[in-house]
Structure 1
Amino acid sequence: MTFYSPQTSSIVGSETTLKAFHTVDIKVQYRDTSGSNSATHTFTADKLKVDLSSGFDEQILTGSARFKVGLDTFLDRSGLLYRNVDPATNSGIQSGLIQYGTGVVEIDSWTPNADNSIQLQSLTTTTDLLPINKIAFRTPVIPLRVQSLTVVVGTLEHGQLTLNADENGVIETSRAHGQVNWDNGFVQIYFHTKTEITAANRTEIEAHNWYDPLLEYEEASKTYINVPVWVDSSSVRYNAIAYTYLPIDSELLGLSATRLPIDGRVPIFRVGGIGIVSSTKSQELPSAIAGTTYDLNDQRIAWCEIEDANGVKVGYDLYTINYDYGRVTLGGDFTLVGLVEPLTAKYRYQDMGQIRDVQINGQVTFTKPLTHNYDSDNTIVGSALVINDMQARYTRKFVQQAWSNQWLDEPTGTLISANYNDALYPIQVTNKGAIQEHWYIQFTDGTNFKCVGEYTGQIATGTINTDFSPINPVTGAPYFVIKKEGWGSGWANGNVLRFNTIACNFPVWVIRTVKQSEPAVISDSFQIMLRGDIDRVV
């Protein structure tokens, strides 16, 4: 129920003398008890409505209204009414709204059982500030963070509107329709209400001074018109979060930033590229008995490892994984020494496919369907760096008289007659043993030599009378093999054979970015996962 304050148009005073022209009997009825025939009715009102501009038709300026209802003081803030604002904290109770065009205030929260007299304390009106139904502006700092823009406006008839843009920059409500460009910070909003024109309301709509027959349009065999929602231009304000980027230092970054975008971000998904959908899960093993096989909840997994209750990784030699069927088998010699139960299997399953379409909203479409079920809580979608086929090899073989203390790829100093015949006896390298390294072999006499790497240092000594095959301690395979038949004659103390080995790997730049903040943990870590396809022998 809504109550309206009484409005008085005029008061006229008059004095009249009544005379009796005929003798009549006058009958009088009276009561001697004031409580007789009396009743009290209690009404519960959900809203109080008061017209602050009664008697004149002018627009109210934003933030100028102040009035009291009983002991409560109400203030206007961009179309909303706040009750009993604390001057120390500037906070109050939101209690209604005000219509700047009509002067009507609607109060939906007040102190009950109090005097409802209304006292207007402050009000400013104008006839020069014309209302608008469209705003457009550009933020001073760009780009904006997605979904960070909020626009607040005060309307003349509907109170305050609070507008938020979605991830695509679209603002869409029943009264506001707009778009924001996150990159350049340009905002454009139209205020109108889609209204169907019927026989009952056509006369009323056509009576407005903004009406134009060209504004009508047809939709689904019905006629509509966008009725303007008038906005006080002085009430418009917005809040947004913008990015500010510091210049990228090429020395700190480790690569040239000339071709990088200003924010340092580059697209990771492209049409025709390779994408990977990956889900990582954990499953607690019911026991830890040697020789026991445990089934995981998923099959066709891509990776798995076992940890104990304290996060200590179980040695890979203590269990085996059946990736096709998703099974973990503890070895026959498995022991819990140094481990704490329960054991947890952490595994991952994936789908890899070619990307067919990439949308600006983040939707990625593949050329083939996914073969696993994925949950949003533990699934990520990433792009893949395609390495293609790789093979270890050696390059830049040459000889020189003495070691120059420089890792150059061309000989220096005086030429010598001794050489190694790699045309008939090439240096042998394998994918398993070779590493990315510069090597030199320096003779200590006519038959013996030492082998030194730029990063590994001296790894072994050898002689021209036997095959030289220094062992890579990580893989157990030789770094390379130099056949004894390839050595020519004429070697002297200090002579050098130089060559490089190219490993069967792919150089990847790993740049980790941490935003400026207080540290949440003492240490952190990450893993790099390599996916490989091999030729299986059936």
Structure 2
Amino acid sequence: MSFYLPAVSNIEETQVVRKAYEAADISVKYRDTSGLNSSSKIITGDKLRLDLSAGFDEQILGGSARFKVGADTFLDRTGTLYRNVDSSNNSGIASGVIQYGTGKVEIDSWTPNVDNSITLESLTTTTDLPPLNHVSFRTPIIPIRPQSLTVVVASLDYGQLTLTTDANGVIETNRAHGSINHDTGFVDLYFYTKTEITVANRAEIEANDWYDPLLEYEEAGKTYINVPVWVDASSIRYNAIAYTYIPLDSEILGLSATRLPLDGRVPIFRVGDIGIISASKVYELPDYIAGQTYSLDDQRISWLELEDSEGVKVPYDMYVVDYDYGKFTLNGDFALGTLVAPLSARYRYQDMGLIRDVQINGQITFTKPVTHNYSIENSIVGSALVINDMQARYTRKFVQPTWSNLWADEAVGGAISANYNDALYPIAVTNNGNIQERWALVFTDAQSFRCIGEYSGQIGTGSVNTDFAPINPVTGVSYFKVKKEGWGSGWASGNVLRFNTIAATYPVWVIRTVKQSEPTVISDQFQIMLRGDIDRVV
């Protein structure tokens, strides 16, 4: 028995797109010489394509289209078709897109094996709503949280566009380009497609009403034009998360909040300011031998403290630090005493420089390179409060007949003959011992007096026959020194010598803010670090 394949003389293939509104017969050409063979094939369509505005050229209003395909009812929402919307909760199945400019519909989800007849139930079109490709608006509440803005808009040719911003507030897709200012809430969006102009498409592009030769531009040796993507301005919807802040209470802050930003955050980095990079590390001592010198892993450190395993600080007079070479030496009479081993050295090294540039992403550039190696886990960048040169001094020396308990900077009452000659014997003050204070030396008789401070209270008594130098208990040196040679005669009980001392310090307001949250530790603490420049003796 022999089998013979059918003789094929010619095969013709024709692809024709049929739309639902076109009435047409499907023709099939085939060859079957025997007349006894038959076959069937099931073809599954990927999408159903309709034209709701066939025969006229008008723009469809968003939310006006309603039609049925078989037993399914479709509604449009901002360019997206939803199937079988439940009236109780207004939810449906996203099933396709609609082009408001052309009326074309693409359905990618429907109920199979049912009648595919189409019934148009509702549709509204207009000729008075010109399309746009540039939209700007401002959110009513500011500031906006980064990466929280989502814009939904219906395009006339591409259906619904869903746009989201990145961390920098930028929107960049192949059809939408724009940005948002998180502080002001201003959104600016352009809709276009960057298209290369070639010989093949130039005639088609130039035939558009919007074409202008000035819109063409050169890039990398090629000619491009931004082809507008038209959108329905009435369809634009957005969603964003904005911050709101509780008003700052001036009584709680301790200062006026008039000039503070709404969120209370003040910029600490500006171009031209001084910034400091710091790295904090811990070195555990292998032992604690008196007179032993220990070397750290880093040199040119700026600060060091020793503490035991329970966080108790080792007295500063029990060790000496060599900051240049990163070493410290325990005193020859060092003893552990009540301290609990092991001991640890907490130290810090830093670089200080002038800030050249500050970026919104947090990048800071200095005018000079750093001189240490810094790692992310133990380094921070901070700003510096520049104090400039400070020197202790005294000012506003005067006398008055009686002490009235009023701390005025001018004499109260009449003049007296007694005085102190500070032209020849100035009151001596030092940076280490002096404090910010107003002093009154109130005489109890012709030779003795009491020393009273406005904030310190009475700190001692003295006599015109000896130098008066009360000791500052914090530093162990005198607040000031009044020389016995400067006292004139004629002092009587009740007379007062008044003067003010200005400390070699700088007034700094410290306000610590803790955000609302559950406590993570029972107690917490912080330190204020002072940096100073000195004259080295080489």
For normalisation by structure 2, the TM-score amounts to: 0.78
8 A contact 1:196–1:222 mirrored in 2 = yes
Separation in structure 1 between the aligned mates of residue 511 and residue 312 of structure 2, nearest angstrom: 27
SS at match of 2:236: strand
1:406 corresponds to which residue?
A: 406
Which of these residues, 15, 22, 30, is aligned with residue 9 of structure 1? 22
Write the letter of the residue equivalent to 2:280. Answer: K
Question: 1:391 Cα shift?
Answer: 1.0
Offset, 1:6: 6.3
Q: Secondary structure at the match of 1:234?
A: helix
Measure, in 1, the Cα distance between the counterparts of 2:294 and 2:240.
53
Q: Tell me the equivalent position of 2:236.
A: 236
Alignment of 1:30-179 (within 5 A): 30=36, 48=47, 50-51=49-50, 53=52, 55=54, 59-63=59-63, 76-80=76-80, 97-102=97-102, 103-105=104-106, 107=108, 115=113, 124-128=123-127, 129-142=129-142, 144=144, 149-165=149-165, 170-179=170-179
SS at match of 2:232: strand
**Compared CA separation, residues 11 and 322, structure 1 to 2 (3 A):** same
Displacement after TM superposition at 1:400 (Å): 1.9
Match of 1:335 in 2: 336
Alpha-carbon deviation of 1:357? 4.3
Residue 193 of structure 1 deviates from its aligned partner by: 0.6
- 3-state SS of paired residue (2:488): coil
1:83 and 1:514 map into 2 onto residues whose CA distance is: 51
Other-structure match for 2:369: 369
Match of 2:491 in 1: 491
Q: Distance in 1 between matches of 2:420 and 2:284?
A: 58
Distance change (3 Å), C-alpha of 1:374 and 1:164:
farther
2:459 paired with 1:459:
yes
TM-score by length of 1: 0.78
Tell me which amino acid in the other structure corresponds to 2:336.
Answer: T
For 1:70 and 1:327, locate their aligned partners in 2 and report how far apart those are by CA, in whole Å: 87
Whether the 8 Å CA contact 2:133–2:230 is kept in 1: the answer is yes
CA distance in 2, matches of 1:315, 1:78: 73
Counterpart in the other structure of 2:5 = none
Q: CA RMSD in A?
A: 4.3
Task: Give the Cα–Cα distance (whole angstroms) in 1 for the partners of residues 354 and 463 of structure 2.
Answer: 52
Partner of 1:536: 536
- 1:205–1:279 CA distance, 2 compared to 1 (3 A): same
Deviations 1:387-415 (A, max 9, x none): 22111111112222221011111121233
Question: 1: CA distance between counterparts of 2:326 and 2:158?
Answer: 61
Assess, with a 3 A threshold, how the Cα gap between structure 1 residues 40 and 300 changes in structure 2: closer, same or farther. Answer: farther
Greater shift after overlay, 347-356 or 397-406? 347-356
Equivalent residue, structure 2, for 1:325: 325
Name which of structure 1's ranges 361-370 and 490-499 shifts more when overlaid on structure 2.
361-370
Quote the residue 1:16 is aligned against.
none
On the 8 A contact 1:436/1:501 being kept in 2, the answer is yes
1:194-343 to 2 correspondences below 5 Å? 194-242=194-242, 254-255=254-255, 268-276=268-276, 278-283=277-282, 285=284, 287=286, 289-290=288-289, 295-306=295-306, 313-317=313-317, 320-327=320-327, 333=334, 335=336, 337=338, 339=340
Which segment is superposed worse, 388-397 or 142-151? 142-151
Question: Would the alpha carbon gap of residues 238 and 397 (structure 1) be closer, same or farther in structure 2, given more than 3 Å must change?
Answer: same
Q: How many residues align?
A: 509
Moved more, 380-389 or 352-361: 352-361
Deviations 1:283-326 (A, max 9, x none): 46374544566554443232234556665555545555443333
Cα distance, 1:459 vs. partner?
1.3
SS at match of 2:204: helix
Report the Cα distance in structure 1 between the residues aligned to 2:73 and 2:339, rounded to whole angstroms.
71
Change in Cα spacing, 1:350 to 1:163, as seen in structure 2 (3 Å) is farther
**SS of the counterpart of 2:199?**
coil
Partner residue of 1:443? 443
Cα 1:506–1:127 change in 2 (3 A) is same
Q: 1:11 to 1:263 in 2, by over 3 A?
A: closer
1:478 matched to 2:482: no
> 5+ residue gaps in structure 1?
13-26, 32-36
Alignment partners' CA distance in 1, 2:430 and 2:210: 83
Change (3 A) 1:105 1:315: farther
Mapping for residues 10-25 of structure 1, pairs under 5 Å: 10=23
Residue 6 of structure 2 is matched in structure 1 by none
CA contact (8 A) 2:271 2:355 kept: yes
Structure 1 residue aligned with 2:433: 433
Where does the alignment leave 5 or more consecutive residues of structure 2 unmatched? 1-16, 26-32
Provide the rounded CA distance (Å) in 1 between the counterparts of 2:70 and 2:377.
54
Whichever residue aligns with residue 422 of structure 2, its letter is D
Q: Following TM superposition, by how much is the alpha carbon of 1:9 offset from its aligned partner in structure 2, in angstroms? A: 1.6
Q: Which amino acid aligns with 1:104?
A: V
* Counterpart residue identity of residue 416, structure 2: I
* CA–CA distance in structure 2, aligned partners of residues 74 and 310 of structure 1: 72
Distance across 1 between alignment mates of 2:294 and 2:95: 63
The 2-side partners of 1:328 and 1:82 are apart by 75
Which segment drifts farther, 394-403 or 87-96? 87-96
SS in 2 for 1:355: strand
Contact 2:61 2:126 (8 Å CA) reproduced: no
Q: Single out whichever of 284-293 and 498-507 deviates more from structure 2.
A: 284-293
Supply the distance in 2 between the matched residues of 1:422 and 1:266 (Cα, whole angstroms). 46
Moved more, 60-69 or 97-106: 60-69
The alpha-carbon distance between structure 1 residues 75 and 434, as it changes in their structure 2 partners (threshold 3 A), is farther
Alpha-carbon spacing, 1:51–1:307, altered in 2? closer, same or farther (3 Å): farther
* Counterpart position of 1:348: 348
Q: Is the partner of 2:161 in helix, strand or coil?
A: strand
Counterpart residue number, 2:502: 502
- Mapped contact 1:392–1:431 kept (Cα < 8 A): yes
1:190-238 deviation line (CA, Å, top 9, x unaligned)? 1101101112222333344433444333333322221111212222122
Give the Cα–Cα distance (whole angstroms) in 1 for the partners of residues 312 and 232 of structure 2.
64
Structure 1 residues 85 and 437: alpha-carbon distance in aligned structure 2, compared to 1, 3 A threshold = farther
Q: 321-330 vs 437-446, which deviates more?
A: 321-330
Summarize deviations over 1:438-494 as a string: whole Å, max 9, x none.
111222233322211111111112222222111111111111111222222333322
| Identity fraction in percent | 65
More divergent stretch after superposition (211-220 vs 224-233): 211-220
Aligned residues of 1:452 and 1:458 also touching (Cα < 8 A): yes
Contact 2:20–2:50, Cα closer than 8 Å, also in 1? no
